Each structure stands twice: as C-alpha cells, then as structure tokens.
Copies of this chain bind each other. A is one copy, B any other.
Amino acid sequence: MTKPQLDRGAGRPSRRERVREATLVEIKEIARRHLVEQGAAGVSLRAIAREMGMTAPGLYRYVSGIDSLLVLITADMFGELAAAVAAADASVPSEDTDLRILTSLRAFRSWAVTHRAEFATMFGPRVRLAPGTDVTPALEAGRRFGATFYTLFDRLLSEERFPLPDGARITPELARELRAFADTCGFSAPHIPVEAVMVLSTCWVRLYGVVCMEVFEHMNFVMRDMEPLFESELQNILTGLGVRYQAP
C-alpha cells in the first residue's frame, strides 16, 4: 500500500483543498437545483444543508451567507450562458459571420427559455439580495458574457455590413454615455465610433426586450407562444444590420 505523495510543489491543490472545492461545488449544485425547482425564494441554506446531510451553520465554512451564495451561482450561470452561446457559435463555419450571429442570438434565447429561473436572477431585478450586497463577481461574469457578442459585432463592423447612423442625431449626452459604454467594455477595436456603439445598444435593447418579455411571462395571457415574435424581431434586427436572416 503506497501512501499518497504530497507533491503539491507547483501550487498543486492539496487533498484538503480538493475536497473543500468539491463540497463547495456540491453546495452550488444543490442551490442551483432548488433555484430551478422552486424559484429564487426557494433557495435556503438550511434546505441545502439538510439535503447534504449536514447543518446550516456548517455551510458558513464555505459561503459567507445566503446572499453571497446567490451571487456565486449567478456568476456561474453567466459562465454557462456564455459557454452555451460560444458553443452554438462554434457549431457553424467560422467564416460565415451571418450564420454565426444568427445562431448565437438564437442560442441566447434558447438558453433563456430553457433556464427561466436562472435568467430571471441574472437579468431581472435584484429582489432577493439585500441592498448593498457585493455583486462584483456576478458583474464580472456578466461583462465576460457580453464580450461574446462584442467580438461578433466587431467583426460585423469591420466588414462594414451596415451604414452607421447619422452622428449628428446623437445628442452630446448620449455620445458621452455610449463612449463610457465602449470604454468599460474593452472593445478590441481601439477607436470604435459612437455611432457603432449606438447601433449595438439599440440591438441589444430590442433583444433583451423580447427575451425578458417571454421569460417573465408578461404576455402570457395574451400570447401563448412567443417564439414567432422573437423570430420576427430577430429578422428585423439582423436585416437592419445587413445580416442575412434565415428561418429556423
């Protein structure tokens, strides 16, 4: 019987760190399942602990409270959403920018409607978290998610697919905000024109609008299936961008 060697020379995680990481993952998995099955209000440290065969205070060795746990899984979910979109994007030929965009946007909606509870906590109002909670991990993950689309848009931009709107119609205040947007997002292009950021914002707002409306079930009593409306909006948006649309 050979005893396991403790060769964690180059920052290799020790056994303790590994099992610790594993239980943290388990905590997050259970929390996530409760979120999906019972909504954000149904996630509780006590219930998680119960299911793990331990008690609630024990969880505080892994998580500093329910709020920070929610922030943690929110960040994870942004990662998953980004991965889902990236996977869809990679599933089509990389030269076909049009199809890549179409596919990516559809993937966004698909993920949203198949992960309603997740989407609600990611993109809905912060209703569960106490005000003043540190949400930077989630924000960071959200930023990384956004980058997925920025690169695609960047490519579209460099291919000069669509005419930029008249810069004169952009008020100084709007220009300032758009510039702040571009700077914070870290566009790859060093000097992207505000007009382009404007177009991107508009498109994103429209997309966000349809998907939120569908996931939050706001037209539920008036429209059974929202996919046709999404496809229609998608077509409008893409056409405006000079991108080829094709029915699903």
Contact = CB atoms under 8 A, between A and B. Distances in A.
A173 B40 contact: no
B231 A171 contact: yes
A93 to B, nearest CB: 26
A123 B212 CA distance: 10
A119 to B, nearest CB: 8
Interface string A185-223: 100000000000010011001111110110111110111
Judged by DSSP, the binding face of A is helix
Interface in A32-53: 38-41
B174 A229 contact: yes
Contact of A236 (B139, B202, B227): B202
A179 to B, nearest CB: 10
Nearest to A116: B125
Contacts of A171: 228, 231-232, 247
Contact of A127 (B127, B177, B207): B127
B177 A215 contact: no
5 closest A-B pairs (Cβ-Cβ)?
A: A209-B209, A174-B228, A120-B125, A205-B209, A173-B228
18 contacts: A38-B131, A39-B131, A40-B127, A41-B130, A116-B125, A120-B124, A125-B216, A125-B217, A139-B221, A169-B235, A171-B228, A177-B224, A202-B232, A202-B233, A202-B236, A208-B209, A208-B212, A209-B212
